Amino acid sequence: MRALIIGGGIAGPVLAVALKKVGIDATVFERGTRDDDRRGAWITFQANGMDALRAIGLAAPVEALGYPVDDISFVNGKGRPLGRMPMAARRADGQTSVMMPRADLYRVLADQAALHGVEVEYGKELVETEYSAAGVVARFADGSTAEGDFLVGADGIHSRVRRAIDPEAAPPRYVPVLNIGGYIPGFAVDAPEREFVMQFGTRCFFAWMKTPDGGAVWFANPPMKEEPARGVLSGMSDSQWRSWLRELMRGDAGPSERIIDAAPAPLTGWATYDMPVVKHWHDGKGRMVLVGDAAHATSPAAGQGAAMSLEDAVILAQCLRDLPDTSQAFATYESLRRERVERIVENGRRSSADKAAGPVARVLRDLMLPLIFKKAARDGGESMMWLQGHHIDFDDRIVAAGAGARQTA
């Protein structure tokens, strides 16, 4: 069997490696270049994502990329503590969350795919798909084509494969906070080791963490009610971003002002989106299927998008290994994944709403959050076990298709 994987981001290369392990050849087609610049953004890589990578032997090089985070603490605009809780569920294997530069994560996953003999073709933008007698044909913007037995859309939140499967598929939903941040080398912030400090500021959510190499990671979520028109954010200059952030954080306690001044130029922010319910994850013919953000993007507030994509990739490979045909494999994969990921997307949506609260909601939020954090701290992360405690044993067999699908040793 030959699989065509569209998208060489996070899910694509890992799926290709997982498929190799179950005897399916896969080629990844990525519209960007090998050296696309994804500098700036850092990513919270959660324990369940590392677990998925460990299932197929890819965890070590990714784990080496970042800094572990144990706790997360919250303060309000005045600097008053709202609570502290574990960043992740206390897993039996001790795996915690790791902060890492997004660009490094993409690079290492691409390297790992190459090391495992996966072919990745760059500069290949999928524009169309069509069924052939034996499978599916992908057409690319450069005029070339490729044919495989099936095609996987790992092409992110604005997925073209999703539209090929269902032309009526709803577009991504705008989340009314922007995202901006990065890393500042040689910059001291007053914060406990391995703790992310998050500030529900008066007008803007702001976060910082000191890194073991003497620097700091930070991000901010400036609220923006309406989706910005295309080009508005990318058209903002570094000094416009800085003065807007200063304005948003003016009068709030904490290091935000120093961080805004010290952050390396150029500052750039992104609009954020999620995908609440994608009705069709596969085409019902066993020829096309979605993984990662293409199927269920969660807002960045959940810090789970990468981990979800990796769980998808590994579980889809297991389904293809254990079920008699691709139709049953895709249906079983969906039934194993849908409920979990939709719950996570909903959680992410709620966290984003907290960050964009208006003056009245802010007062309520500041009253409620300490109680919520206290409860979370008391249970030592137990209530997050469903999320970050997720475990995949690659040798477990997928024994049943449909709604009753389950994994068993």
Ligand X SMILES: Cc1cc2nc3c(=O)[nH]c(=O)nc-3n(C[C@H](O)[C@H](O)[C@H](O)COP(=O)(O)OP(=O)(O)OC[C@H]3O[C@@H](n4cnc5c(N)ncnc54)[C@H](O)[C@@H]3O)c2cc1C
**Shorter beta-carbon distance to ligand X: residue 18 or 401:** 18
Question: What does the alpha-carbon distance between residue 362 and residue 356 come to, in Å, rounded to a whole number?
Answer: 9
Q: Is 71 in the site for ligand X (CB under 6 A)?
A: no
Minimum Å gap between C-beta 217 and ligand X is 10
Nearer to ligand X, 204 or 401 (CB): 204
Residue range at the interface with ligand X (CB under 6 A); choices 30-38, 227-235, 248-256, 346-354: 30-38
CB of residue 334 vs ligand X: minimum separation in angstroms? Answer: 16
Stretch that binds ligand X, among 26-34, 209-217, 347-355, 386-394 (CB under 6 A): 26-34
Q: Min. distance of Cβ 359 from ligand X in angstroms?
A: 26
Q: How many residues bind ligand X (CB under 6 A)?
A: 35
DSSP3 helix / strand / coil % (the chain, rounded to 5): 35, 25, 40
- Residue 60 in tokens: 């070590």
Is 43 among the residues that bind ligand X (CB under 6 A)?
Answer: yes
Phi, psi of 203, deg, nearest 5: -120, -10
Which residues between 242 and 271 bind ligand X (CB under 6 A)? Answer: 270
Burial of residue 214 (CB within 10 Å: 0-12, 13-18, 19+) is exposed
Exactly one of 3, 56, 98, 126 binds ligand X (CB under 6 A); that residue is: 126
Q: Provide the H-helix boundaries in 64-221.
A: 102-115, 160-165
Contact residue for ligand X among 292, 348, 381, 389 (CB under 6 A): 292
Cis amide leading into 266 (omega within 30) = yes
**What does the block give as tokens for 234?**
């990318």
Do residues 387 and 51 make contact, with C-beta atoms less than 8 angstroms apart? Answer: no
- Considering only the stretches 9-17, 255-263, 350-358, 383-391, report the one whose residues sit in contact with ligand X under the rule CB under 6 A: 9-17
Which amino acid does the sequence have at 380? G
Per CB under 6 A, the segment of 129-137, 197-205, 234-242, 305-313 that binds ligand X is 305-313
- Binding string, residues 148-187; x marks residues near ligand X by CB under 6 A: ------xxx---x------------------x--------
In whole angstroms, the minimum distance from the beta carbon of 400 to ligand X comes to 27
Backbone angles phi, psi at 336, to 5 degrees: -75, -25
Place of tokens 């498929």: 19
CB 99 within 8 A of CB 255: no
The two three-digit tokens of residue 192, written as one number: 């406990």
Q: Phi/psi at 382 (nearest 5 deg)?
A: -55, -40
Residue 59 or 253: the one with the smaller Cβ distance to ligand X is 59
Q: Which residues bind ligand X (CB under 6 A)?
A: 6-12, 29-32, 41, 43-44, 124-126, 154-156, 160, 179, 270, 272, 292-294, 297, 300, 303-307, 309
